[in-house]
Each structure stands twice: as C-alpha cells, then as structure tokens.
Structure 1
Amino acid sequence: MKLNSFILRACLLIFIISTNYSCDEIDTEEPGALVPETVEQDLSLPSISVNGTMLHTETFGNPNNSMVIFLHGGPGADYRNALNVKQLADNGYFVVFYDQRGAGLSKRHNKNSYSIQLLLEDLNAVINNYKTSPNQKIFLFGHSWGGILATAFINKYPTKIDGAILAEAGGLKWDDLKEYNKKSKKLEFFTEAANDALYLDQFFTGTENQHQILDYKLAIQSSFSYADDNTEGIEGPSPFWRYGAVTLNSLVDIAENDGYDFTTNLNQYQKKVLILYSENNKAYDLSVAQKEANYFPIHQIEKIDGTGHEMIYFKWNSVFPKVLSYLNSL
C-alpha cells in the first residue's frame, strides 16, 4: 500500500541524518519545510476568516440547498480523508468542509488560547458564513471527535440544527471517552510506534508552540492507529494534509483537567439523529452505539459492515446510502 507523503518525508529525513548530514540542512522554522503550509502562510488555499481565525474550507453544491457541515476527527486531524462526503452535493445538499481551528491547514494558535466554547463559536461562525436564508436546514456530520463536537453544539444550541450523523463519536461524556481510549488508543511503551516516536525525538524536540515540528512528529506517530490487528479495525493509512499537535494537546489537557458532559440538554433535542458504527471496531460495538443513541430522544442506529473506524474513507459506498436515506427523511 502506498505510504503517506509525510511518512516518506520522515524516511528521507532519517536517511539524510544517517548519512552524516547536519540537521541544519533543514530549517524547521521555514514554512513548508516539514509539513504543508497553512492558509495563513499560503493565501492561494481556500479559506474563510471568522471568529478571529482563518479556516481552511471547501464547499460543494448549491449554496441555497440544505447544508451538511462535515466535522472531522482528532482533535487536530483534517477533512481530507472524508472528501467522499461531497457526493451528497450531487443529491441536493450543500456540503461544507472545514479544518477546525489549529488543525489541518487552518491557522495555528498558541496552546493556551483553546477552549471547547471557542470551537463551538467557530462552528457557529461557519454556519452563519454560509447560510443563505433563515429557513435553510442545517445538518452536522461528525466523525469520531467530530461527532463529539457536533453533540456539544447540539447540546448548547438545540434549535439551530435540523439533524445530525454521528460516526463512532466514542464519548459524549469524558468518562465514556476515557473508556473508549482504553480499548482503542492505548500506546504501549514498547510498541513499534512508541519506539519510532522516541527515535524521532533524537532529532526534533519541539517546544509548546513550535507547530511545524510538533505537527510533523504527530504525523509520524499516528501510524500506530492502523497497525496490524488494531482494535479500531482500521484497514491502513488514509490521506491527510497536516495534523494539529497543539490543538490536540490543548483539548486533551482541558478534558483531563475539567472533564465534560455534552449530554445535559440532549433530551430537549427533538430531531432524529443517525448513529453509525462499524463491524470491525472492537472498541465501539452495538452496545456503545446504543448507549450514545439513548442520549437522544429520537435516534436511528446503522451498522457498516466490513470496515472499521475509518468507514467514511474505506467503505463510503456502504455509508452513503444510509446517510442519504436519513437526510432525505427529514
């Protein structure tokens, strides 16, 4: 299987170092030296400026149609491996993608600037930026962390959203996410991925807000998620632009210090929610899907066969008809 371009960059870097070239040959502070430039650095990238930041965005379809906003996982990932969702634009929907604050190709910010409320305000600003009429329907489609973010928004603003698709959110309460992570994300010290991360630290340290170095390191370390026999049933690597290490670290710290519960007002939400889970994710089975679905008064659960957590990339042909049927029913 073809390696991700960032993995290839890592292999090239290690080769250069092993042949006695100095690390000074690579200027890690030069934009684009280690990872792609953000929208702040490359103004040719599609973007919007909202809520005090610049977000990498793309849209597909008629802006006057019902809007589907895709929320990617992470925190700190991007929407590149979910571009299959743009097929909904061929079926009467206006599809909006954006890399969340500090993630993907969006503008980077200091670690102490993040909060859940700020991300909710960003999402609200994205909606307002693209909304063309007061009666336009708005749907959220969240994968993994994106499903948690979608739920947090609905919990706070239940009247603003006409429906939601949650693909293996994994924890609408902090205790639930901790349990999911025990099953799916635990990185044993002596695994190959841990050894790779430690090896990389010989060459790159990266202080709290050195975004290029930290994003580069996170890209390399992410390969553990699709290691053979991984719990989440991920078949292999999927494409991405750039990880946002600082936003990941910041939001994890917030959750660990403050916890969260995004279910407190969900009983007020009277729209049907679609919950998707995959056959091969051992950490997110029917019981987990049912637990999350039960937070919503009206819900529908669908299983995606023959795939794992990255179902939108690897099994979109199975996901698409279920999503389209759900949207058309509202």
Structure 2
Amino acid sequence: MKTNVIYTAVIAVSIFFFLGCENENDINGIGNLVPKTVDQDSSLPSISVNGTQLHAEAFGNPNNPMLIFLHGGPGSDYRNGLNVQQLATDGYYVIFYDQRGSGLSKRHDKKSYSIQLVLDDLTEVIKHYRTSPEQKVFLFGHSWGAMLGTAYVNSYPDKINGLILAEPGGLNKKLLDEYGEMSRKIEIFSEVTSNLLYVDQFLTGKENQHEILDYKFGIATSFSYAKGNKEGIPGPSPFWRIGTTVLESFTDIAENDGFDFTTNLNQYTTKVLFLYGELNQSYGLNFAQKEAAYFPNAAIEEVKGTGHEMIYFKWENVHPIVMNYLNNLK
C-alpha cells in the first residue's frame, strides 16, 4: 500500500500564515487545502457507477482489448500510473479510475467501505466501458491495486483474461504483515514526523473531515521516499489527493477482520505476470515467489534499476515486459 507526496514542511508553514491572516479562510472549505473531487468540480472527467462518482479517463480505441489500471493505496490515485497510457498506442483500450474515496473520486463515510464494495465498483467500471461481451479484459495492478486485482480474480476467476501484478503488498493478512515489517517504518523523531506533529498544532481533523485529513496525510506520507528507504524509491511521484478515510477504513478491516485473497486462486488458470523492482529490498524474488505460488500459472519478472514505484520511475523497463505478456494472451 503506497502513496507518495510532493508536499513539504514549507507548505505547512504557509498554511500556518494563511490561517493567521486578516482575511481568514475556512480550512474545511472546499478546495482550500486540497484539490476538489469530481462531485465538487464538474470539469473533472468522471463516471457515475454503483452509487458513487469516480474520477476516470479512457484512452485508445474502445473496441480494442480493455486494460484497467488499478492504482495503489488504498487512497492514492492513478496520476503516477499514467505512463500506462502508452498501451493505448499498442492496441489496448486503457482505463484509469481513482477508486472509491481515493484521489479525486467522491468521498464517503468511513463506515461505508468494504472489500466487496470496491470489487462491485470494479465490476461496474468494466460494464461502463465494455463495448461487447467478447471484448477481453485485463487488469494491471500496482501495490494495493495488485492486491485488489487479485481479490477480483479470486472472486470472479472467469471474468478476467489476464492479470499483471506489480509488487502487491500482501495477498493475505499474514503476507501483508510480513511485507510491512520489511518495508515502511516511521522513525519517531524523523523530519517527516516532526512536520506532521507541527501541523497537528493547528489542523486536528476528525473522522470524515476529508479536507483536513487528506491534507495531513499528504504531508505524512513523504516518509516513503526518505533517504535510505528499503523500497528503492528515489523521490516523490505525483498525485492529486490522498483519500485518508478509505485508507483508515481498510486498515481497520485488515486489523479487525483480516483478509485472504488467495482462497480461490487455484481456479484462475490464466498465466499471471508478477513484477518486482530490483532495488526494493523489502520485496524481491523471494516474496514474489511466495505470492505467485498461490496461482496455478505465474511468471515472475525483475524490473531492473528501480524499486516499488517502477511504473513512474522506470516505465521504459516495465513496458516491454508487459507487452510481451499481453501479446501472448491477446
């Protein structure tokens, strides 16, 4: 589960003075702290499915095989995955969408989220864009998005014609905990933690105060690319807005209820492509093999010169591997 950020402590300081000026603005006001969501800004591209409004775009010929990109998080967005748009020139109909409560998609109450709900959303996204029953559908998931793609074929093994998984954080609770132990740890006295505590002095944020929570989490997540991080992330990658509430909701679900997206994977017999970054010390071939073992037919490929954020930083190395896989299934 991964989100990156371009906010810095400078922004926190500017907000401090912004709040203290004579013409004080409401920090809960729409668009004052973070970009507006699709239900707040009608100029953003969107679709309405399954009782929500999603930020979404499509590229390429609608009659070509469909490829849906599933971004990381939960709560991030597809902005740092837009290199995948190149597949539209390679003969695929490429779909991007910010998942429910994520990125620029509509926000919902924390208690409304469930795994089944986001699976249903994906079903409806496919229906919305599909032009014929014969049109093939491929999923390309990164990090949490790879977990979501796995959960989908675990529930619906006959609906997806191919699956690309770029470093899923863990296909069940045990593997997720194992990956978390090896990867992201916040040092209590780090600069990032200090920045977050500083912001806490004037931005508290209660449950479902989405503007404040999303702004705060945007600052906090810069630890993911801190110097010496084990996931091989060299710096920030772009995003629009963090969906903090959906992240907190799925974290609670994982901790309280657990999850297992592997229970029916033996029914998905199509070859699955696993990608892992050469520079990610937390994932590596060993972890990829553990996850791939749940599938009857899987291939594992190392992406050279990159870590977890391979799609943004080293798409030129990812692209030929993905094309080779897709063209063998097309």
TM-score over 0.5 (shorter chain): yes
Distance 1:252 1:19 in 2: 32
Is 1:14 equivalent to 2:13 in the alignment? yes
Alignment of 1:14-53 (within 5 A): 14-15=13-14, 17=16, 21-22=20-21, 25-53=24-52
Q: Give per-residue Cα distances to partners, 1:64-109, cap 9 Å, x unaligned.
A: 1100000000000000001000000001000000000000000000
Change (3 A) 1:13 1:64: same
- In structure 2, the partner of 1:86 is 85
Is 1:274 equivalent to 2:276 in the alignment? no
Q: Is the 8 A contact 2:278 2:306 kept in 1?
A: yes
Distance 1:271 1:5 in 2: 36
Distance 2:23 2:109 in 1: 25
Q: Give per-residue Cα distances to partners, 1:139-174, cap 9 Å, x unaligned.
A: 000000000000000000000000100000020011
Residue type of the alignment partner of 1:199 = Y
Alignment of 1:104-183 (within 5 A): 104-183=103-182
Change (3 A) 1:198 1:61: same
- In structure 2, the partner of 1:317 is 316
Residue type of the alignment partner of 1:49 = S
Change (3 A) 1:99 1:16: closer
Change (3 A) 1:20 1:269: closer
Change (3 A) 1:198 1:12: closer
Q: Give per-residue Cα distances to partners, 1:174-208, cap 9 Å, x unaligned.
A: 11001111111121222222221111100100000
- In structure 2, the partner of 1:232 is 231
- In structure 2, the partner of 1:65 is 64
- In structure 2, the partner of 1:295 is 294
**Post-superposition offset of 1:17:** 2.9
- In structure 2, the partner of 1:194 is 193
Residue type of the alignment partner of 1:93 = Y
The CA RMSD over aligned residues, in Å, is 1.6
Distance 1:11 1:111 in 2: 30
Higher relative contact order (CA 8 A, sep 6+): 2
Change (3 A) 1:28 1:16: closer
- The secondary structure found in structure 1 opposite 2:295 is coil
Residue type of the alignment partner of 1:58 = E
- In structure 2, the partner of 1:97 is 96
Q: TM-score, normalised by structure 1?
A: 0.96
Aligned identity (percent) is: 63
Q: TM-score, normalised by structure 2?
A: 0.96
Change (3 A) 1:288 1:23: farther
Q: Give per-residue Cα distances to partners, 1:214-234, cap 9 Å, x unaligned.
A: 000011111100000101110
